[in-house]
A and B are shown apart, each in its own frame.
Chain A
Amino acid sequence: MNEILRILLFMVSCVLSHNFIFSRFLGCCPFLGVSNKVGTAAGMGLAVTFVMGLASLFTYVVYHFILVPLQLTYLDTISFILVIAALVQFVETFLKKSSPSLYNALGIYLPLITTNCAVLGVAVLNVSEGYNLLYSVLNGVFGALGFLLAIVLMAGVRERLELADIPKCLRGFPIGLIIAGLMSVAFMGFLGLA
Chain B
Amino acid sequence: MQIILATLVLGGIGLIFGVLLTVASKKFHVEVDPRIEEVSSYLAGANCGACGYPGCDACAQAVVEGKVGADCCPPGGARAAEGIAKVMGLDAGSLVPMVARVLCQGNIGVAQDRYIYDGYRSCLAAAGIAGGPKACHFACIGLGDCVDQCAFGAVSIKGGVAWIDAAKCTGCGKCVDACPRSVISLFPMDAKVLVRCRNMEPAKLANAECMRSCIGCGRCVRTCKYDAIQVVDGFAHIDLDKCTRCGDCAEVCPHKCIVVT
**B120 touching A86, Cβ below 8 Å:** no
Q: How many chain A residues have a CB neighbour from B under 8 Å?
A: 19
| A86-B17, A86-B20 known; A96-B10 Cβ under 8 A | no
Contacts of A94 in B (CB 8 A): 24, 28
**B21 touching A66, Cβ below 8 Å:** no
Contacts of A67 in B (CB 8 A): 9
0/1 interface trace, chain A 97-109, chain B, CB 8 Å (1 if under): 1100000000000
Partner of A79, one of B13, B20, B21: B13
Is A70 at the interface (CB under 8 A from chain B)? Answer: yes
CB distance from A123 to the nearest CB of B (A): 14
**A72 touching B5, Cβ below 8 Å:** yes
Chain B residues close to A by CB (< 8 Å)? 5-6, 9-10, 13-14, 17, 20-21, 24-25, 28-30, 120
**B10 touching A66, Cβ below 8 Å:** no
How far apart sit A82 and B28, CA to CA, in the bound complex (Å)? Answer: 21
CB distance from A135 to the nearest CB of B (A): 24
CB distance from A5 to the nearest CB of B (A): 38
Contacts of A79 in B (CB 8 A): 9-10, 13
**B6 touching A82, Cβ below 8 Å:** no
Query: Main secondary structure on chain A at its contact with chain B?
Result: helix
How far apart sit A78 and B14, CA to CA, in the bound complex (Å)? Answer: 11
Q: Which of A71-100 touch B at CB < 8 Å?
A: 72, 75, 78-79, 82-83, 86, 89-90, 93-94, 96-98
Is A163 at the interface (CB under 8 A from chain B)? Answer: yes
Contacts of B24 in A (CB 8 A): 90, 93-94
Partner of B5, one of A70, A90, A93, A163: A70
Is A62 at the interface (CB under 8 A from chain B)? Answer: yes
**A70 touching B9, Cβ below 8 Å:** yes
**B28 touching A93, Cβ below 8 Å:** yes
CB distance from A148 to the nearest CB of B (A): 24
Chain A residues close to B by CB (< 8 Å)? 62, 66-67, 70, 72, 75, 78-79, 82-83, 86, 89-90, 93-94, 96-98, 163
**A82 touching B10, Cβ below 8 Å:** yes
How far apart sit A67 and B6, CA to CA, in the bound complex (Å)? Answer: 9
**A93 touching B9, Cβ below 8 Å:** no
| A86-B20, A89-B21, A163-B120 known; A66-B13 Cβ under 8 A | yes
**A86 touching B9, Cβ below 8 Å:** no
| A62-B13, A72-B6 known; A96-B30 Cβ under 8 A | yes
Partner of A66, one of B9, B14, B17, B29: B9
Contacts of B20 in A (CB 8 A): 86, 90
- The chain A residue sitting closest to B14, CB to CB, is A82
How far apart sit A70 and B5, CA to CA, in the bound complex (Å)? Answer: 8
What are 7 inter-chain pairs, A to B, with CB distance below 8 A?
A66-B13, A72-B6, A82-B14, A86-B17, A93-B21, A93-B24, A93-B28
**A82 touching B13, Cβ below 8 Å:** yes
**B25 touching A93, Cβ below 8 Å:** yes
**B10 touching A78, Cβ below 8 Å:** yes
